[in-house]
Chain A
Amino acid sequence: MREIIIDPVTRIEGHAKITIHLDDAGKVEDARLHVTQVRGFEKFCEGRPFYEMPSLMARICGICPISHLLASAKACDALMAVRIPRTGAKLRYVVHLGQMIQSHALSFFHLSAPDLLLGMDHDPATRNIMGLIEKSPELAKQGIALRKFGQQVIEWLAGERVHPSWIVPGGVNAPLDPEVRTRILSGIPEAMKIAENALSVLKSVVGNFAAEVESFGNFDSLHMGTVDDEGGLDFYDGGLRFKDAKGKIAADHVAAEDYAKFIGEAVVPWSYLKMPYYKPIGYPSGLYRVGPLARLNVIERCGTPKADKELKAFRKAYGAVAKSSFLYHYARLIEIIFSLEKLEELLNAPDILDTRVRAEAGPNCNEGVGICEAPRGTLIHHYKIDDNGLVTWANLIIATGNNNLAMNKSIKQVSQRFVDGNNLKEGMLNRVEAVVRAYDPCLSCSTHALGQMPMQIDLVSPAGDILDQVSRTSAM
């Protein structure tokens, strides 16, 4: 048996490598994603006052700090045992939507569009955002503008683009400035045009990727996401829903504090990233997916007109429960459209300028769980504190972590379909990386680890000798 190693994996957030094991005939036998970093946020927060947790935990990531701020602040709300003012909750959702837009735009335009629009076999030297700028300057410019808009929503509301201090336990620390509301609302039409254009571009090329749709993580699995009371799309609140490949709801409206009844975490010796699984089924068969595709699979409806129209078309094309992880790209763009519509809806709510935006309380509960839907999927922060409010224990399940089993299965599937150990080509390995990219993993987050995400592929013999290696150093 031989082994191929991709190290580092490029155009993702964090550090990872892939090993592809070949049999004696050069066919792919197995493939694994190894996350090669460890950080220890769950450990070093011990002993800190709980109300410092949002800012501390936000440092897990610079791409989606808002998600960590929110999940952490929600866990703190639970520790304080308060129901936060309605406007405070809405403002948190508004800033979260800004982040969804910027993170999804980054994933689509900067990281994945080079594969989708230049082609999987395109020269790797220009298969990046610069190459995209050369080929489709208008689209690249739009992508940058859309991401900027999302970042601006965060900055205008919260004061800073990365790691703002606005989101606090109990709500947010300042009400919405009417001028900011006007500014955001006036930017939505242009952003919507860009999002709709990107979706139509994707629809026009998705036909060229029939082989990828078929083999990029195309399998039956559970899907998980939070839904509102009516089963609609909800990024900020709601209960957890698990749905199987046949569309049957396995568990519904699971409250945040009950997550551990449904999600277990397995540890493997070859990766720092744990393997969450659906407990009632067990490990490893309890594989489930999270993120844009899973969210669209579990919901009844998005709840906004344009996104619902797109969801209908998406389901018509790929079924009520879409199976291929290649479709994450498609789902991500529908979610941008939803985010823009929801942003407008929330900002036009009559009470959005209300000045009561924060609940004050000390520690009233020794345990609290906060869950929100981060761009990459369901994010869970779970803390325990002593009677004085000092953290004694923390557990985090990060969006990308939830997808770990699915990513490994997808890598194996893509490798078996595209990689020929006897005739190794760069384009084959790029497809292996691209399936990882489809999940838009944030390994920095998922291991609560530090850094950008370079990656490497190694080809290893049955005896363990490295036969070939493709290595790249930078993410973007």
Chain B
Amino acid sequence: MPKQVKLKIDGEYVNATEGQSVLDAAKANGKFIPSLCHVQGLSGVGACRLCMVEIAGGARPLPACTTPVQEGMVINTVSERLSKYRRMIIELLLSERNHVCAVCVSNGHCELQDMATRLGVTHSSFPYRYPRLPVDASHPRFVLDHNRCILCSRCVRVCAEIEGANTWNIVSRGVNSMVAADLNEPWGDAESCTRCGKCVEACPTGALVVKGKAVEEMVKRTQTVSRLATARGGSR
């Protein structure tokens, strides 16, 4: 039986299991911490930094998804500083690529859009970069639109950890980072792809979508990914 630890989140004592992340512990106790890259059942990577929390004794905020719980931790998930950072992260995501909600197939069913709304982001204070990015429509069933990718790496993890195909990876660095199939080839040419579509269901935005969906029609089933993870006995 894993060891139980006791910690304090937003002034409230909660119990957690040793090895559990702060994010999972908070969720298990009915607390909401904003996050975009995290999917229940997949490993935490701290890619989006939205789930940053303040931990007593530490100067910097830490991502809740990659910070394991410890006995006696005192955690703060809500503060003026955290709200400011979280809004800034969303603004940076929106300005980095071409997120045009009105004409997006995921409009109305997009986690980035929902999070922006929930956190009160009405515009970006950073100038939009408007990068010229390609759309990969070479796959017979799905489409990858780099314009709408936030590099959360959910596709990379679901493909490696649940499907076991390891089709997806991230190439290059920093602002040039891109999701790539196999050896950075057109998705349709990637031999490792099993066409299972889990990456599409896990993707939080309109970056990975089913081919042929018109505006507002792409509805993702992220819970399916979590259910599959549970069925496999993984509880990351």
Q: Does B211 have its Cβ within 8 Å of any Cβ on chain A?
A: yes
* CB of A362 within 8 Å of the partner chain: yes
Residues of chain B within 8 A of A165, CB atoms compared: 107, 214-217
Q: Which residue of A lies closest to B215 (CB)?
A: A55
Contacts A52-B105, A163-B102, A388-B138: A173 and B214 contacting too (C-beta < 8 A)?
yes
- B69 to A: closest C-beta gap in Å: 44
Q: Report A-chain residues with C-beta under 8 Å of the C-beta of B135.
A: 47-49, 390
| Docked complex Cα distance between A55 and B212 (Å) | 13
In the assembly, what is the distance between CA of A198 and CA of B188, in Å? 59
Q: Which residue of A lies closest to B139 (CB)?
A: A388
B137-A55 in contact (CB<8A):
no
Instruction: Write the nearest CB–CB distance from A50 to chain B, whole angstroms.
Output: 9
Q: Mark A20-55, 1 if CB is under 8 A from B, else 0.
A: 000000000000000000000000000111011011
Complex: how many Å from CA A158 to CA B216? 13
Which A residues touch B216, using CB under 8 A? 165
Whether A52 contacts B137 by the Cβ 8 Å rule is: no
Q: Taking the complex as formed, is A56 at the interface, i.e. its CB lies under 8 A from any CB of chain B?
A: yes
Question: Do A59 and B103 touch (CB < 8 A)?
Answer: yes
Question: Which of B107, B143, B188, B217 is within 8 Å of A49, CB to CB?
Answer: B143
User: CB-CB < 8 A to B134: which residues of A?
Assistant: 47
Q: Mark A348-363, 1 if CB is under 8 A from B, else 0.
A: 0000000000001110
Give chain A interface residues in 357-413, CB to chain B under 8 Å.
Answer: 360-362, 388-390
> B217 near A173 (CB under 8 angstroms)?
yes
**A168 at the B interface (CB under 8 A):** yes
Cβ-based interface call for A454 (8 A): no
* Residue pair B137, A389 in contact (C-beta under 8 Å): yes
- Please give the distance in Å from B100's CB to the nearest CB on chain A: 9
Interface membership of B213, Cβ < 8 A: yes
Chain B contacts for A169, CB-based, 8 A: 212, 214
Contact A362 B102 (CB under 8 A): no
The B interface is mostly helix, strand or loop, or mixed, namely: loop
Rounded to whole Å, the gap between the CB of B143 and the closest CB of chain A is 6
> Are B211 and A389 interface neighbours, CB within 8 A?
yes
- A152-169 interface (Cβ within 8 A of B): 163, 165, 168-169
Beyond A55-B214, A168-B214, A362-B212, is A390–B103 a contact (Cβ under 8 Å)? no
Contact with A along B191-224 (1 / 0, CB 8 A): 0000000000000000000011111110000000
Q: Chain B contacts of A163 at CB under 8 A? A: 102
Cβ-defined partner of A52 (8 Å) among B138, B188, B214:
B214
CB closest residue in chain A, given B134: A47
Q: How far is the CA of A336 from the CA of B24 in the complex (A)?
A: 61
What sequence of 0s and 1s flags, for each residue 53-67 of chain A, a beta carbon within 8 Å of any chain B beta carbon? 011100100000000
* B69-121 residues at the A interface, CB under 8 angstroms: 102-103, 105, 107
Give the interface size class of chain A: 20 to 34
Question: Which residue in A55, A173, A362 is a CB contact (below 8 Å) of B103?
Answer: A55
Known contacts A47-B135, A49-B137, A388-B138: A56-B213 contact under CB 8 Å:
no
The minimal Cβ–Cβ distance linking A474 to chain B, given in whole angstroms, is 25
CB distance from B216 to the nearest CB of A (A): 4
CB-nearest residue of chain A to B206 = A52
Residues in B with CB closer than 8 Å to A48 are: 135
* Chain A binding surface, main DSSP class: loop
Residues of chain A lying within 8 A (CB to CB) of residue B188: 388
Contacting A388 at CB < 8 Å: which of B105, B137, B214, B217? B137
Q: Given A59-B102, A163-B102, A51–B214 Cβ distance below 8 Å?
A: yes
* Chain B neighbourhood of A47, CB < 8 A: 134-135
Min C-beta distance of A388 to chain B, whole Å: 4
> For residue B145, which residues in chain A have a CB less than 8 angstroms away from its CB?
49
Chain A residues positioned under 8 Å from B211 (CB to CB): 49, 362, 389
A285 to chain B, nearest CB (A): 40
* A51 and B212 contacting across the interface, CB-CB below 8 Å: yes
* Contact assessment for A390 and B137 in the assembled complex, using a CB-CB cutoff below 8 Å: yes
- What is the chain B residue whose CB lies nearest that of A361? B212
For B103, B107, B216, the residue with the greatest tally of chain A CB atoms inside 10 Å of its CB is B103
Closest to B217 in A: A173
What's the least CB distance linking A102 to chain B, in Å?
A: 21
Q: How far is the CB of B193 from chain A (nearest CB, A)?
A: 15
- Return B146 CB to nearest CB of chain A, in Å: 11
A362 to B138, CA, bound (A): 12
Q: Taking the nearest CB of chain A, how far is it from the CB of B76, in angstroms? A: 41
C-alpha spacing A48/B209, complex, angstroms: 13
Closest to A73 in B: B214
A325 to B204, CA, bound (A): 53
Contact A52 B217 (CB under 8 A): no
CB pair A360 B212 closer than 8 Å = yes
B92 to chain A, nearest CB (A): 23
Inter-chain contact B103/A56, CB cutoff 8 Å? yes
Closest Cβ–Cβ distance, residue B210 to chain A (whole Å): 11
Alpha-carbon distance A49/B144, docked complex (angstroms): 10
Smallest CB gap from B105: residue in A? A52
The winner among B145, B212, B216 for most chain A CB atoms within 10 A is B212
Per the bound structure, the CA–CA distance linking A149 and B211 in Å amounts to: 36
CA distance A390 to B144 in the complex (A): 12
Whole-angstrom distance from the CB of B138 to the nearest CB of chain A? 6
* B149 vs chain A, min Cβ distance (A): 15
Once the chains are docked, how many angstroms separate the CA of A388 from the CA of B214? 16
CB-CB nearest in chain B for A385: B137
- Most chain B beta carbons < 10 A, residue from A59, A163, A390: A390
Q: Complex Cα distance A307/B102, Å?
A: 38
User: Which chain B residues lie closer than 8 Å to A360 at the CB level?
Assistant: 212
Q: B188 — nearest CB in chain A belongs to which residue? A: A388
Closest to B138 in A: A388
Residues of A within 8 A of B214 (CB): 51-52, 54-55, 165, 168-169, 173
Task: Say yes or no: B103 contacts A52, CB within 8 Å.
Answer: yes
Given A55-B214, A55-B215, 11 further pairs, Cβ under 8 A: A47-B135, A48-B135, A52-B103, A59-B102, A59-B103, A165-B107, A168-B214, A168-B217, A169-B212, A361-B212, A390-B135
The 17 listed contacts between A and B (C-beta, < 8 Å) are A47-B135, A49-B137, A51-B212, A52-B214, A52-B215, A54-B214, A55-B215, A59-B103, A165-B107, A165-B216, A168-B214, A168-B217, A169-B212, A361-B212, A362-B212, A388-B188, A389-B137
A contacts, CB < 8 Å to B: 47-49, 51-52, 54-56, 59, 163, 165, 168-169, 173, 360-362, 388-390
